[in-house]
Amino acid sequence: MFWYRKPFAACWAAVPVLAVLSSCSSQPAPPATGTPAFYWQAARETFATGDYTKTLEHLDNLLATDNDYTARALPWSLVLKSGLAEGYMELADHYAAGARVNKADPSGFRRQTSDLRNFANRLALAFAQDVGKADKLQDPVPLAFAYPKGSALPVPELARVAGGFVLPQPQAEALQKRVLERDVLLAASRAAGAADNTAKTEQILKSANASVPLAVFLEAMAENLYDQSQLYTRDRLDDPGKLAIFCERAQEALKKVPESKDSKELGAKIAGALKKSK
């Protein structure tokens, strides 16, 4: 009897294994490493975890060539780069204020200010370069990314930094993360035509085919360019040449936007900043 039981039991034991193998074989193969599909999937995964640095690396790989994902990667990259640049600018301004208040030891605040403005500069320049590819944008512009992490509420710890208070390293890192997440969220809302209305932004981005009219998106990019031009004022990086370039690119973007009260006000601010830079 034993001779007959052994193969019988072995056959039944094999059934779960065969089922698992059959289930696995029915799953689609993951995208090959280094392909556009691979970078797109990786960007979505890292964005969901809040790792925006890695997300930008994947998006930049997509933007290096023309492929099936370029039209969706470009708007996403513009939103992410502009949001991060403005986040670093905001942090730097608060550390600069802290350096003026903390007379006993301003050096740490000044070092942070310098580092943060350098980060902002690199991202702002990359953003301005990507805006130069605006002719590749579709109308409507696809917003093929999820609702960003974080909250749009002001970050209270920024006031402590501006007041000259030295935050412990873990708190300083948490502060930076919250500020960057907030500014990316605000940049996404502006791009979606829902400035300061994150609830509306969340609804827009829930759609599988989320998009925004090209004119709305370009006006948001023009506003971002103007905001980032202020990184190069005399009291920050003091580079009037770059300030002028950012303002001129903002004006170029606005030329493709129908005139409205908001666009006229933005145009006046840009013209004023250009005049001061000369």
Per-residue model confidence as pLDDT tens for the chain (278 residues): 333 334 434 433 444 443 444 444 567 788 999 999 999 999 999 999 999 999 999 999 999 999 999 999 999 999 999 999 999 999 999 999 999 999 999 999 999 999 999 999 999 999 999 999 999 999 999 999 999 999 999 999 999 999 999 999 999 999 999 999 999 999 999 999 999 899 999 999 999 999 999 999 999 999 999 999 999 999 999 999 999 999 999 999 999 999 999 999 999 999 999 998 88
Q: Read off the amino acid at residue 213.
A: P
34: left (phi over 0), alpha (psi -120 to 50) or beta: left
Helix H or strand E segment including 135: none
**Gyration radius (Cα) of the chain, Å:** 24
Pick the closest to residue 217 from 78, 80, 66 (CA basis).
78
Residue with tokens 């990314």: 145
Long-range residue pairs from 201-204, CB within 8 A, at least 24 positions apart, any chain: 201/147, 202/147, 204/143
